[in-house]
Structure 1
Amino acid sequence: MQKQIEQQSLTINFFMTFIVAISGIIVYFLTNIQALLLDGFFSFISFLSAIIGIYISRISHRKTARYPHGLHFLEPLYAIFKSILILLLLLLALINASETALQYFLAGEGEVLDVGPILPYTFFVVSLCFALSFYNHYQNKKIHGLSTILAAEAKGSLIDGLQSLGAGLAFALLYVIPIKGPLGFLHYTGDFFVTAISVICLISEPIKMFHQAFIELSHGLALDQEITEPIDDLILKHFQDLLPHVNYEIIKIGMSVKVKIYIEHEQTEILAETLAIRTPFLKELQQTYSNAHVEMIYT
Structure 2
Amino acid sequence: MQEKKESNALLIGAAANIFMAVLAWFTVYYSNSEAILLDGNYSFIMFLGVLVALKIVAVRANRTKTFPFGKFYYESLYGFIKGLMILGVLIMSVTTAVIRITFYFTGYLDNIPMLIPEPILHYALICAVICYIVSFYYFQQNRKFTNKSILLRTEQKSAFVDGTLSLGIGFGVFLFSRGGEIGFIPYLADSFFVLVLASMLIKEPLTIIRESIIELAGGALQDDAKRKEFETIITLNMPETLKIENIFISKNGSKYIIFIYISTDELVYNKKDIITARTNITNILSKNHPYLSINIIPDGHINV
- TM superposition score normalised by structure 2: 0.91
Look up the match of 2:302.
none
* Structure 1 CA distance for aligned equivalents of residues 57 and 274 of structure 2: 34
**What are the ranges of 5 or more consecutive residues in structure 1 without an aligned counterpart?**
none
Look up the match of 2:102.
102
The answer to whether the 8 Å contact 2:35/2:93 transfers is: yes
The answer to whether the 8 Å contact 1:174/1:186 transfers is: yes
Letter in 1 for 2:219: G
The answer to whether the 8 Å contact 2:75/2:252 transfers is: yes
Look up the match of 2:297.
297
- 1:117 pairs, out of 116, 119, 125, with 119
* Structure 2 CA distance for aligned equivalents of residues 242 and 203 of structure 1: 50
Structure 1 residue ranges (4+ consecutive) displaced by more than 4 angstroms after TM superposition: none
**What are the ranges of 5 or more consecutive residues in structure 2 without an aligned counterpart?**
300-304
Letter in 2 for 1:139: Q
* Structure 1 CA distance for aligned equivalents of residues 83 and 244 of structure 2: 41
- TM superposition score normalised by structure 1: 0.92
Look up the match of 2:254.
255
Instruction: Tell me, yes or no, if structure 1 residue 81 matches structure 2 residue 81.
Output: yes
1:7-34 CA distance string (max 9 Å, x none) = 1211111111111221122212221211
* Structure 1 CA distance for aligned equivalents of residues 253 and 235 of structure 2: 25
* Structure 2 CA distance for aligned equivalents of residues 34 and 230 of structure 1: 47
Letter in 2 for 1:131: I
Letter in 1 for 2:104: Y
Look up the match of 1:126.
128
* Structure 2 CA distance for aligned equivalents of residues 26 and 224 of structure 1: 42
- TM-superposed deviation, 1:265: 7.7
Look up the match of 1:209.
208
Pair 85,134 (structure 1): closer, same or farther in 2 beyond 3 Å:
same
- TM-superposed deviation, 1:87: 1.2
Secondary structure of residue in 2 paired with 1:262: strand
- 1:143 pairs, out of 142, 145, 151, with 145
* Structure 2 CA distance for aligned equivalents of residues 275 and 162 of structure 1: 51
Letter in 1 for 2:42: F
* Structure 2 CA distance for aligned equivalents of residues 192 and 245 of structure 1: 57
Identify the range of structure 1 (111-120 vs 229-238) with the bigger mean alpha-carbon deviation.
229-238
Letter in 2 for 1:179: E
> How many pairs align?
296
Question: Percent identical across equivalent pairs?
Answer: 27
- TM-superposed deviation, 1:108: 4.3
How large is the Cα RMSD of the aligned pairs? Answer: 1.9
The answer to whether the 8 Å contact 2:242/2:262 transfers is: no
